[in-house]
């Protein structure tokens, strides 16, 4: 007889959610519902009528992990609305601080997923992995702290660019830390690849969590609003998306679709669209892609330091006018998009956000369906929601 399994809340990820699984007699999931249970907080509404400068400050409080990406996307949306072009060195600094956020966030998720793959008796391996992760996170936070001005809600990310440039001493300190991060990221990639390969071999499901839906991504390390056809993006309420009324009423989060279907965003999506990462594999490939992105992030960060002119201009003074704009940044989890309408008085007329994680909620459901329910949370955790 078919049964329903409720996992409330789901664990070892950054958000707040629950899984409802309709399971057949053979223990395989026939229907999965991955429900975002975060309450309405009204960030978009609270910005209306406020000065534009308040927007990046406010939206950095949306997420305890993604402060930098929200601040970056917010500034970009307002700059796009008023036609403000930021200086080259300001753009480089903004990309660098956002890379620091990724270099901190990805290893944190390695920590949260580690218990899925490291066996209880492998104490030495666990200690080695945790030391690597913590050292990597420390470097990522150092980048945000130095370039952004603070490690939690970086105040240097402002409309018009970056509030200040960095010093020669800071540049040298960052470069030294990044060289160590490069070594740690390579070791982490080797460890994680081996763990994933072993796990899939032991459970005997090499394609665990595979799906046939497309990917969405705008850039490898920053963001490009021109890479996505925004007239093909639509958000629908859960009441229209879910046939199960009880499920639909248990969440208030809108469901984003691209060309009418769910799409996967995040590490695998970026590497598949802009690199040669294989597609069509299972969800565990996302964990490997995430570990590989650590290397891409540190390589790009060092390139930026080489290219950056520490005496260059990092900010312009914005001149406000009526307009609408889109700001896009590739958050650790997926494509983060902010939409702003600004008045010539410098105040927000309307504001909308498609947060990175929301792209992947419906994809997690599709990835879980057709596989044994015992692996549902492992599949879910691969998406770093």
Question: pLDDT digits over 221-274, tens only?
Answer: 999 999 999 999 999 999 999 999 999 999 989 999 999 999 999 999 999 999
Q: In this predicted structure, what is the pLDDT of residue 15?
A: 80
Nearest alpha carbon to residue 178 among 336, 311, 308 = 308
Contact (Cβ atoms closer than 8 angstroms) between residue 136 and residue 183: no
Q: Is 306 exposed, middle or buried (0-12, 13-18, 19+ CB in 10 A)?
A: exposed
Nearest alpha carbon to residue 372 among 119, 115, 120, 25 = 25
pLDDT over 70 at 205, yes or no: yes
* Mean pLDDT of all residues belonging to the chain: 96
The number of beta carbons lying within 10 Å of the beta carbon of residue 275 is: 12
The number of beta carbons lying within 10 Å of the beta carbon of residue 332 is: 27
Q: Residues of the chain with pLDDT > 90: what percent?
A: 92
Contact (Cβ atoms closer than 8 angstroms) between residue 158 and residue 317: no
- Reported as a single tens digit per residue, the pLDDT across 20-67 is 999 999 999 999 999 998 888 899 999 999 999 999 999 999 988 889
Classify domain 3-382 at the CATH topology level.
Answer: Cytochrome-c3 Hydrogenase; chain B (1.10.645)
Query: Strands, E, within the chain: which ranges?
Result: 3-7, 17-23, 29-36, 157-158, 161-162, 233-236, 255-258, 323-330, 335-342, 348-354
The number of beta carbons lying within 10 Å of the beta carbon of residue 336 is: 31
Rg (CA), the chain: 21
Contact (Cβ atoms closer than 8 angstroms) between residue 133 and residue 181: no
pLDDT over 80 at 374, yes or no: yes
Q: How much is the pTM? A: 0.96
Instruction: State the Cα angle at 110 between 6 and 56, rounded to 5°.
Output: 90
Query: In which band, very low, low, confident or very high, does the pLDDT at 6 lie, cut at 50, 70 and 90?
Result: very high
- Reported as a single tens digit per residue, the pLDDT across 281-312 is 999 999 999 999 999 999 999 999 999 999 99
DSSP string, 125-187: HHHHHHHHHHHHHHHHHHHHHHHHSSSSS-TTEETTEES----HHHHHHHHHHHHHHHHHHHH
Query: In which band, very low, low, confident or very high, does the pLDDT at 1 lie, cut at 50, 70 and 90?
Result: low
pLDDT over 70 at 214, yes or no: yes
């Amino acid at each position: 007889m078919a049964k329903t399994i409720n996992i409330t809340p789901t664990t070892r990820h950054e958000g707040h959610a629950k899984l409802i699984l309709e399971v057949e007699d053979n223990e395989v999931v026939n229907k999965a519902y991955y429900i975002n249970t975060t309450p309405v907080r009204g960030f978009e509404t609270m910005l209306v009528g406020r000065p534009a400068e308040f927007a990046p400050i406010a939206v950095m409080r949306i997420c305890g992990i993604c402060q930098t990406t929200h601040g970056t996307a917010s500034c970009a949306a307002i700059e796009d609305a008023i036609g403000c072009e930021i200086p080259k060195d300001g753009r480089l600094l903004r990309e660098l601080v956002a890379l620091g956020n990724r270099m901190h966030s990805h290893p944190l998720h390695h920590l949260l997923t580690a218990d899925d793959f490291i066996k209880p008796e492998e104490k030495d391996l666990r200690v080695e992995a945790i030391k690597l992760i913590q050292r990597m996170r420390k470097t990522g936070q150092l980048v945000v702290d130095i370039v952004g001005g603070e490690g939690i809600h970086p105040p240097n990310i402002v409309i018009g660019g970056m509030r200040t440039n960095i010093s020669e001493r800071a540049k040298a300190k960052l470069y030294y830390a990044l060289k160590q991060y490069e070594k740690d990221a390579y070791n982490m990639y080797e460890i994680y690849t081996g763990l994933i390969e072993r796990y899939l071999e032991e459970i005997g499901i090499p394609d665990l969590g595979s799906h046939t839906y497309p990917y969405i991504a705008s850039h490898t390390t920053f963001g490009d609003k021109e890479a996505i056809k925004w007239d093909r993006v639509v958000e629908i309420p859960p009441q229209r998306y879910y046939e199960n009324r009880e499920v639909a009423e248990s969440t208030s989060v809108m469901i984003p679709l691209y060309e009418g279907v769910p799409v996967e965003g995040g590490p695998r999506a970026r590497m598949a669209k802009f690199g040669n990462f294989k597609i069509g594999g299972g969800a565990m490939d996302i964990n490997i892609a995430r570990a590989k992105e650590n290397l891409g992030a540190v390589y790009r960060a060092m390139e930026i330091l080489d290219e950056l002119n520490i005496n260059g201009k990092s900010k312009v003074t914005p001149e406000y006018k009526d307009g609408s704009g889109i700001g896009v940044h590739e958050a650790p989890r997926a494509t983060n998009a902010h939409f702003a309408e600004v008045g010539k008085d410098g105040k927000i007329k309307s504001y909308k956000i498609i947060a990175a994680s929301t792209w992947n909620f419906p994809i997690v459901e599709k990835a879980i369906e057709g596989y044994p329910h015992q692996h549902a949370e492992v599949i879910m955790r691969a998406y770093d929601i």
